[in-house]
Amino acid sequence: MLLTFNDLSSLIDFVFLSFRPANSTSIHMTSFKSSNLMQFFDDPKNFGASEVKSGRSWTVDELRIKSNIDLQKLWFVLLKERNMLLTMEYNCREACYLFPSPERIDKIQDSMTRLEQVIHERNDAYWQLEIGEEAPKPRAEKTLDPTDPLAAIREPIEAVTQVKDRATLKFQYLIKEKERKLKLKQKRLHEREAAMLLKYFPNMDKEALQAKYPDVNVEKLKFVQRTRGSHEFNTA
């Protein structure tokens, strides 16, 4: 027999009420209505609707005038609403239906982001007042660069290379050594090119040459033997 969501929620509520402890009145728990699994789904009247009316997201100014307790309550309300919307979005996708008014998820996320901003502002003000230092910065969420085709594998590689074992340290040393040799090879190539230009064109603009080869000391290169051509002022 296939159980529906209503049957499953009723069964859980029955088990919850049957095995309640005798002194359950002294235990803080949710009510019978809020323990129903249907709270994770949208209002049944919105099932199959093409559009669901919703309000706007909370602004920062509105959140700043609320107390910490109200912000905590609002956070859990938004979290519960977001979980419900994500559940409905998943069910609609599995059933090949269009999720009505998907902008509701964006509004919830904007409100939660602004609420976190207000909390961080208050936390920073407390640290400045009581400790005299800035509050620790919240951990930033890393997002993949859409223009980088290797972004999906760069972050795991960076996470692996952070492990300080012998093999990793050797790998990092070899990478840095290879980069150093490549830079040295490029610098020598630029020095040879600049020396050839000074040898055949001694009256050229030194500032333009320095701008073209920023890793070469042109002033020092002028006194090197290989830059002295067969010009009259060099042979005198």
pLDDT in tens, the chain (236 residues): 444 444 434 444 443 343 344 443 333 333 334 457 777 777 777 777 778 888 889 999 999 999 999 999 999 999 999 998 888 888 888 888 888 888 899 999 999 999 999 999 999 898 888 887 777 777 666 666 667 666 665 666 555 555 556 677 777 788 888 888 988 998 889 888 888 888 888 888 888 888 888 888 888 887 777 777 655 545 44
Task: Tell me if 167 is assigned to some domain.
Answer: yes
Query: Does residue 118 share a domain with residue 162?
Result: no
**Is position 138 within any domain?**
no
What is the pLDDT at residue 151?
A: 62
Task: Please report the pLDDT score of residue 1 as a whole number.
Answer: 41
What is the rounded distance in angstroms from the CA atom of residue 128 to the CA atom of residue 62? 23
pLDDT of residue 48: 75
SS3 21: coil
- Coil, helix or strand at residue 169: helix
Do residue 64 and residue 123 come from a single domain? yes
Q: Are 37 and 12 in contact (CB under 8 A)?
A: yes
29 assigned to some structural domain = no
Q: Is there a domain that residue 149 lies in?
A: no
Residue 88 CB neighbours (<10 A): 22
- Is position 32 within any domain? no
Burial class (CB in 10 A: 0-12, 13-18, 19+), 68: exposed
pLDDT at position 160 is 54
Supply φ then ψ for residue 34, to 5 degrees. Answer: -75, -10
The pLDDT assigned to 65 comes to 94
Domain boundary (93, 115, 131) is at 131
**Whether pTM exceeds 0.75:** no
Are the CB atoms for 198 and 191 separated by under 8 Å? no
Same domain, 124 and 162: no
Q: In terms of domains, do 109 and 63 share one?
A: yes
> Based on the domain organization, do 71 and 123 belong to the same domain?
yes
Instruction: Look at residue 127 and tell me if it is in a domain.
Output: yes
Query: What's the confidence (pLDDT) of residue 155?
Result: 61
CA distances from 219 to 74, 223, 225 (A): 67, 8, 13
Residue 100 is predicted with a pLDDT of: 85
Print the domain residue range for 219: 156-227
Pair (121, 179) in one structural domain = no
State the Cα angle at 107 between 137 and 59, rounded to 5°.
65
pLDDT of residue 74: 94
Q: How many domains does the chain have?
A: 2
Q: Is residue 235 part of a domain?
A: no
Do 122 and 59 sit in the same domain of this protein? yes
pLDDT at 149: 61
* Alpha carbons 34 and 31: distance in angstroms, whole number: 5
